């Protein structure tokens, strides 16, 4: 007996953890800083940590009341009906629920390239197909309706990421509205706003609810998470906000008790911990600016809690930075072998990352007899000296 044919499926490549790297290099974990997974450098919301501890003695019960309470709190935060909030085991779980609610076998989804691998993975799990639209380095990874429509061919779901991972670019609500207008009636536009708290743009919830001058839409959904700004990546808590017409579908597609008791209690505490979120956003904005000003390579403008850096040879740079104690994300798995992604850390972590990156670039260039310059086209160009 064998599992079904999984040859079209690929494993998700997560950022490497400190313990894993320290074991591999036979070094003390305290020597490393991890800036590879876009985690909150200030840890979890303190209020959430207390709530998790307080709830530990109740985990013998299913989270029915906590689930309902958190749903209501999220709905109140966004000004939507409770039934429009689909809680899930992380943003990944919400992706699965939306695919369960939309995809028949053989339906396609349209996803960004580069982009988050799980959009396509989830579609294939649900017997759907995957097509891609390209965000171009040469165009600074700009997102607009025209870019998506060039590749659109009637797909059932179109995935947008705003801010986009790993580039940090965003897409305007007017462009999302245009895209929804110019795609088929049975196409759902999903806007993944996992990094939305760090961006100076309005949420696409406005399109669902018909706010800020837009007509209400029944073909747009929004994804959000507690993993980033709230610092709850480890408890796995995310949600989708869907049009009112989709409300009844949740009970038919979600897993029983879609978020755990601890996750729901943590979310209930974190959602009102504005001080922690504000501190996290403030740190992120400062780190983004510092890296753009001080990294000696091209750093793209970003609205996320990370920046993308053009380094020429991502694998070599990431490996050498790791050896020097700073773990960053090699973006080869995103189809960007010349780029690394650096999470915005604390002031001290960001300083160390910049110093380590600049030293690494200088040393690798000296060893190879080349320098790496950025010409504005999105490509790092090795300049070979006269021989």
CB 132 within 8 A of CB 335: no
pLDDT at residue 378 is higher than 50: no
Percentage above 90 pLDDT, the chain: 82
Q: Give DSSP secondary structure letters for 305-367.
A: SEEEEE-S-HHHHHHHHHHTTEEEEEGGGGT-TTEEEEE---HHHHHHHHHHHHHHHHHHHHH
pLDDT at residue 42 is higher than 50: yes
Which stretch of DSSP H or E encloses residue 290?
helix 274-294
pLDDT at residue 375 is higher than 50: no
Cis status, amide bond into 244, omega within 30 of 0: no
314-343 pLDDT per residue, tens: 999 999 999 999 999 999 999 999 999 999
111-124 pLDDT per residue, tens: 999 999 999 999 99
- Residue 370 pLDDT: 57
- Residue 9 pLDDT: 73
- Residue 384 pLDDT: 33
* DSSP-derived secondary structure letter, 385: P
Beta bridge partners of 161: 192
Average pLDDT over residues 137-161: 97
pLDDT at residue 365 is higher than 60: yes
> Cα–Cα distance between 54 and 51 in angstroms, integer?
5
* DSSP-derived secondary structure letter, 213: T
Furthest C-alpha separation in the chain: 73
Average pLDDT over residues 235-262: 93
CB 130 within 8 A of CB 123: yes
pLDDT at residue 281 is higher than 70: yes
pLDDT at residue 247 is higher than 90: no
For residue 200, count other CB atoms closer than 10 A to its CB.
7
Average pLDDT over residues 273-281: 98
Beta bridge partners of 33: 326
**Domains with residue ranges and CATH for the chain:** 18-43+275-367 (3.90.1150.10), 46-270 (3.40.640.10)
Residues contacting 119, CB < 8 A, separation 6+: 95, 109, 111, 130, 159, 192
pLDDT at residue 381 is higher than 50: no
pLDDT at residue 380 is higher than 60: no
Q: What is the mean pLDDT of the chain?
A: 92
CB 256 within 8 A of CB 97: no
pLDDT at residue 24 is higher than 70: yes
For residue 74, count other CB atoms closer than 10 A to its CB.
22
- Residue 41 pLDDT: 97
pLDDT at residue 172 is higher than 80: yes
- Residue 235 pLDDT: 96
pLDDT at residue 15 is higher than 80: no
Average pLDDT over residues 287-312: 98
Indicate the pLDDT class of residue 382, thresholds 50, 70 and 90: very low
Query: Which among 115, 161, 142 is positioned nearest to 333, based on CA atoms?
Result: 115
């Amino acid at each position: 007996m064998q599992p079904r044919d999984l040859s079209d499926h690929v494993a998700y490549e997560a950022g490497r953890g400190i313990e894993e790297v320290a074991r591999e290099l036979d070094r003390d974990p305290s020597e490393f800083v991890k800036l590879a997974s876009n985690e909150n450098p200030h840890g979890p919301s303190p209020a959430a940590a207390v709530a998790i501890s307080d709830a530990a003695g109740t985990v013998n019960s299913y989270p029915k009341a906590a689930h309902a309470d958190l749903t209501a709190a999220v709905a109140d935060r966004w000004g939507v009906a409770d039934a429009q909030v689909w809680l899930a085991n992380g943003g990944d779980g919400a992706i699965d629920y939306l695919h369960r609610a939309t995809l028949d076998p053989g339906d396609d989804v349209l996803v960004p390239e580069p982009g988050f691998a799980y959009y396509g993975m989830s579609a294939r799990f649900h017997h759907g197909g995957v097509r891609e639209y390209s965000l171009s380095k040469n165009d600074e990874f700009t997102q607009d309706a025209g870019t998506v429509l060039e590749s659109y061919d009637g797909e059932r779901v179109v995935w947008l990421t705003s801010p986009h991972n790993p580039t940090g670019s965003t897409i305007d609500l007017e462009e999302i509205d245009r895209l929804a207008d110019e795609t088929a009636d049975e196409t759902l536009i999903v806007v993944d706003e996992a990094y939305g708290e760090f961006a100076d743009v309005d949420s696409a919830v406005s399109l669902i609810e018909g706010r800020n001058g837009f007509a209400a839409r029944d073909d747009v959904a929004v994804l959000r998470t507690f993993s980033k700004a709230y610092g709850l990546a480890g408890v796995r808590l995310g949600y989708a906000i869907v049009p009112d017409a989709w409300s009844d579908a949740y009970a038919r597609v979600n897993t029983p008790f879609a978020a755990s008791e601890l996750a729901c209690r943590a979310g209930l505490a974190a959602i009102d911990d504005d001080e922690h979120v504000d501190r996290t956003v403030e740190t992120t904005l400062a780190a983004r600016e510092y890296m753009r000003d001080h990294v000696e390579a091209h750093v793209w403008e970003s609205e996320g809690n990370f920046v993308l850096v053009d380094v020429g040879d991502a694998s070599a740079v990431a490996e050498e930075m790791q050896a020097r104690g700073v773990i960053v994300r090699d973006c080869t798995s995103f189809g960007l072998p010349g780029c690394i992604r650096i999470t915005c850390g604390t002031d001290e972590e960001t300083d160390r990352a910049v110093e380590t990156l600049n030293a690494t670039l200088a040393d690798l260039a000296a060893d190879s007899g080349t320098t790496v310059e950025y010409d504005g086209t999105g490509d790092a160009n090795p300049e070979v000296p006269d021989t």
